Chain A
């Protein structure tokens, strides 16, 4: 837990909250966000330089990010719809559509676009992107999208009855061979009762898992339901 009151001014915290809208940052993009939501009395470049000294900043290859605890804390402090955070999300979404080489790489993925779309209220567009990612091959992007979608559903930026977050998470866990947790998420998808390919896939996978456990009748029931949807 960072003791902000001892560490930073109110305006610095506002800027940090704006920066926490990004999953990952480059110095250039961080500076641009600091210019958008300025810190009183500190130039953007100097603020980024100061930030890079911190232990709550995790180095990545040519990028950096806040530690997950720090980012969660900042997002909680800001609230998903605060003005400074909203500005940062809009800026990041706009940048994701530009052909810039100095962007954090996640911004150039569908996961990044889906994340910032939902944050600015483009929910149907975001869900479509999340759904596309879920149907693609297993990848780091799919894992990232699953984290994003779950986070946004918890923050009520995505509707509570949207199946994409649970489907993404379930598929990622299944691909990582964490079958027990995967089943929990995929059963959530099944319980939606929707007539969608995601539900058919979830039925199929859970059926396979039931078969492995030896509950063949349950497995067959699930397979039959899957077939009726395909």
Chain B
């Protein structure tokens, strides 16, 4: 079942991103102001575009398809570093050293025989039976080292992209400190692409640390509406999609695309939320017309 996201305009944005998608690697930021810019539709399109084969080929002459991972704190499997390991495995078809500890249970040791007299310092530790901190750290280092080595190999035959969804630097601390700094960062020269989604309409937080360890090569901005030039591009994209999907004439496809873009150009978010359903209505309408014509002919 093909559910490829259709690209509607965003030509300037993809034009600017193309060298990085093709091969250049590096860190780029996609700046947007909340939902009106349709950031989710953009990421879906980006992953779709990236997955397609590029002109860039391997030394063997074969094209280099793209593989991507989306890191998003609202996804339970990508919220913490420990689980992110599994996401890397499935996205890049690699196997990483296990971090599992047998028989993990929460087994707190609770203080006993407490007495109070005068001022005193109290320090109590919750003990989780999950190995010492140094052991956990060693296990984490082990899979991250292995990830870097294996991604370096993947980069020889594929283009690799990491999409980091919006979050504050504090929320993304694990990613920057443990995964990127001195680790994945070293793969940028091999072509690793990191795309940072930055919602500038949300609460501003400091990005100074992450910008230091992940300097941006480019920032692109997502619009909230389509200007005249963008409308023209959107009409062309949509008409091509209609022609391909419904096998109808250029003129008819252009007319449908014109009317849809004209009525949705002021809100890109609404345009994306409606376009798929509109296409289904169009499909049903064309089918009905065809049946009517056939019936009349008979």
- Alpha-carbon gap, A58 to B39, bound state (A): 9
Residue A11, interface by CB 8 Å? no
Contact (A223, B75) CB under 8 Å given A42-B280, A53-B5: no
Interface of A is mostly: helix
- Alpha-carbon gap, A67 to B114, bound state (A): 49
| Residues on A with beta carbons closer than 8 Å to the beta carbon of B110 | 200, 204, 223, 226-227, 230
| Residues on B with beta carbons closer than 8 Å to the beta carbon of A55 | 35, 38-41, 269, 272-273
A205 and B126 form a contact (CB under 8 A) = yes
Residue of A nearest to B129 (CB): A137
| Residues on A with beta carbons closer than 8 Å to the beta carbon of B41 | 53-55, 57
Residue B218, interface by CB 8 Å? no
Nearest-neighbour CB distance to chain B for A215, whole angstroms, equals 10
Tell me which of A27, A201, A224, A230 contacts B106 (CB under 8 A).
A201
For chain A, give the interface size range: 35 or more
Residue B289, interface by CB 8 Å? no
B280 and A211 form a contact (CB under 8 A) = no
A207 and B124 form a contact (CB under 8 A) = yes
Which positions 254-284 of chain B face chain A at CB distance < 8 Å? 269, 272-277, 279-280, 283-284
B280 and A46 form a contact (CB under 8 A) = yes
| Residues on A with beta carbons closer than 8 Å to the beta carbon of B91 | 61-62
| Residues on B with beta carbons closer than 8 Å to the beta carbon of A109 | 76
B122 and A211 form a contact (CB under 8 A) = yes
- Alpha-carbon gap, A51 to B44, bound state (A): 12
Residue of A nearest to B275 (CB): A53
B76 and A141 form a contact (CB under 8 A) = yes
Bitwise, B222-237 to A at CB < 8 A (1) or not (0) is 0000000000000000
A220 and B122 form a contact (CB under 8 A) = yes
B124 and A208 form a contact (CB under 8 A) = yes
